[in-house]
Chains A and B, each alone.
Chain A
Amino acid sequence: MAESPLAARGPSRLLGHFWMVLGIIVVVFPVYYVFIASTHSTQTILRPPLPLVPGPEGLQNYGEAFSGRIGQIGGVSLWRLLGNTTVVALGIAIGKIAISMASAYAIVFFRFPLRMACFWLIFITLMLPVEVRIQPTYKVMVDLGLIDSYPGLILPLIASATATLLFRQFFMTIPDELLEAARVDGAGPWRFFRDILWPLSLTNVAAIFVIQFIYGWTQYLWPLLVTNSNEMNTIVIALRKMISFADADTPWNLVMVTSVLAILPPILVVVLMQRWFVKGLVETEK
């Protein structure tokens, strides 16, 4: 990369490093703090200030958290919570990509009556986030018997105006000649999609996948509403249920371990897939 026109020299550049390090400390400290706390015993955690280096109880805390069941949330195991959250996050990410790609494909590569009406119908859902229709959506879930089920946690969240818009925009940049050539060679809609469009879409798919995986993993309001049983909780909701400042029995060491496990997978996804993440974020613009 070429040197930025804003790049500085000497003391000014050093000052830049200084502020960046300070900024990073503010940004990373809460995550570091909870990690450190997860390696100490409850007694140490409850006696401030917490030492800022890892303690000796780390292995024991993680072992206890993974092998046992957590009483505060009805004896559900951590494995179960991580499993639920993974299913929900993957379900939402893959589901969104599948149905948005299908609709964008229909809108761009076919001509049929009400085509643009369908497009607007999908587009307007941007203006109807769950938060503005909580109660009636909940009632629909009850009527369909989807409470405490994976489809209940996933389905209502997989409609996506933004993903559809992005795929539509991308499909429109595919030159007509490509489609003509494919048709001359006798390719139908499925062959064209599988052999030409899908390989071309891979970077976009990866970008949307990262964004939507994070979106699915970090959901709160919806899992809170549609899960009553502790068995079906996502890890974020379970964590909320474990914490009580009034209750002297709160196992703070296990709370810290659970927090770390709730934070780590999405951070890993963002960091390891950084290139697609930044592309997805800056290009979808929401």
Chain B
Amino acid sequence: MRRTVFPHRFLPWLLLAPQLAITLIFFYWPAGQAFRQSMLKEDPFGLKSSFVGLANFRRVLSDPNYLNALQVTAVFSALVAFIPMAIALFLAVQAEKIVRGKGLYRTLMIWPYAVAPAIAGMLWLFMFNPSFGTLAWPLRQLGINWNPLLNGNHAMILVVAAAAWKQISYNFLFFVAGLQAIPRSLLEAAAIDGASRRHAFWTIVFPLLAPTTFFLLVVNTVYALFDTFGIIHAVTGGGPGKATETLVYKVYNDGFVNLIMGDSAAQSVILMLIVIALTAFQFRFIERRVHYG
């Protein structure tokens, strides 16, 4: 707690005003509206609305399309959370083995972070589209009927690849930082005891990285849930069929394309609950991390 402060009474409010105004107008008011609308039934012209309690939620949660989106999101998020983490951890360990040239590797490794998710999706689509993708071409030569524009599984593979590719940079930087924080003495002791590198990795390094791993797991999940909208929208539009329609894409689609307000609002509220749970989870682990030292 700070002992000395400025005595002004009005000035702090003036300083806070812009941030508070923006949060109230663009965050709290709309979030409140989402709650309100989630319990209203509106006619398609938005002229009348009536209170229906939890009916919208009941309908959304029993809608096979929503359950499909839930399943797609679960598969997509699990893959997007896990794949870049595994690749980044492996590469971070390789980078630690190296003495010279680390800086250059890092510089090249952080590029994807700067690429917009939607563009990451488009880049992968350029490489793997069935009509002229250079990397789709060998697949077709091998007799694989590769077509992400028509085949749901292929579409899923493509969006997962693009989303995971973009997230490698972030995970890599955190694992490198995590590895550098591992006390030297522990590894030296292990070496003296004759432990192999592989053994030392799984018994010392990996457990000590647990806080970083958990942290990245949450960050990657939040990324997969929310920041990948651009990839889905730009590459597949949720299709083919509904094979890549995630929860966020469905909220957008129902609210702006199909104009089903009550359902879209109910889905928004469900998403809000998911974010709150994830954020709470994240802060628990960050606090833990502090205790680890």
Q: Are the CB atoms of B8 and A110 closer together than 8 Å?
A: yes
Interface of A is mostly: helix
Given A102-B18, A236-B116, A129 contacting B101 (CB threshold 8 A)? no
Q: Are the CB atoms of B271 and A4 closer together than 8 Å?
A: no
With an 8 A cutoff between CB atoms, is B188 at the interface? Answer: yes
Q: What 6 pairs across the A-B complex have the smallest Cβ distances?
A: A16-B97, A220-B230, A218-B116, A136-B33, A136-B30, A266-B114
Chain A stretch 135-151: residues in CB contact (< 8 A) with chain B: 135-140
With an 8 A cutoff between CB atoms, is B3 at the interface? Answer: yes
Of A53-61, A63-71, A72-80, A176-184, the one touching chain B: A176-184
Set B16, B93, B99, B184: member contacting A106, Cβ < 8 A: B16
With an 8 A cutoff between CB atoms, is A285 at the interface? Answer: yes
Distance in angstroms from A95 CB to nearest chain B CB is: 9
Q: How far is the CA of A31 from the CA of B165 in the complex (A)?
A: 11
With an 8 A cutoff between CB atoms, is B50 at the interface? Answer: no
List the B side residues contacting A94 at CB < 8 Å.
Answer: none
List the A side residues contacting B12 at CB < 8 Å.
Answer: 106-107, 110, 112, 115
List the A side residues contacting B98 at CB < 8 Å.
Answer: 7-8, 13, 16-17, 20
Q: How far is the CA of A271 from the CA of B191 in the complex (A)?
A: 37
Q: Are the CB atoms of A30 and B120 closer together than 8 Å?
A: yes
With an 8 A cutoff between CB atoms, is B210 at the interface? Answer: no
Distance in angstroms from B98 CB to nearest chain A CB is: 5
Q: Are the CB atoms of B96 and A7 closer together than 8 Å?
A: yes
With an 8 A cutoff between CB atoms, is B37 at the interface? Answer: yes
Q: Are the CB atoms of B4 and A176 closer together than 8 Å?
A: yes
With an 8 A cutoff between CB atoms, is A105 at the interface? Answer: yes
Given A48-B132, A109-B2, A126-B279, A135 contacting B265 (CB threshold 8 A)? yes
Q: Are the CB atoms of A127 and B173 closer together than 8 Å?
A: no
Q: How far is the CA of A219 from the CA of B223 in the complex (A)?
A: 13
With an 8 A cutoff between CB atoms, is B81 at the interface? Answer: no
List the B side residues contacting A128 at CB < 8 Å.
Answer: 27-28, 31, 272, 275
Q: Are the CB atoms of B229 and A270 closer together than 8 Å?
A: no
With an 8 A cutoff between CB atoms, is B85 at the interface? Answer: no
Q: How far is the CA of A15 from the CA of B90 in the complex (A)?
A: 12
With an 8 A cutoff between CB atoms, is B79 at the interface? Answer: no
List the B side residues contacting A37 at CB < 8 Å.
Answer: 126
Q: Are the CB atoms of B272 and A16 closer together than 8 Å?
A: no
Q: How far is the CA of A33 from the CA of B127 in the complex (A)?
A: 8
Given A164-B19, A239-B119, A8 contacting B97 (CB threshold 8 A)? yes
* B266-293 to A contact mask, C-beta < 8 Å, 1/0: 0011011001100100000010000000
* B183-212 to A contact mask, C-beta < 8 Å, 1/0: 010011000000001000000010000000
With an 8 A cutoff between CB atoms, is B157 at the interface? Answer: no
* A247-286 to B contact mask, C-beta < 8 Å, 1/0: 0000010001001001100110111001001100110011
Q: Which of A37, A46, A263, A274 has the most CB of B within 10 A?
A: A263
Q: Are the CB atoms of B119 and A99 closer together than 8 Å?
A: no
Given A20-B94, A183-B4, A245-B129, A99 contacting B19 (CB threshold 8 A)? yes
Q: How far is the CA of A159 from the CA of B271 in the complex (A)?
A: 20
Q: Are the CB atoms of A121 and B95 closer together than 8 Å?
A: no
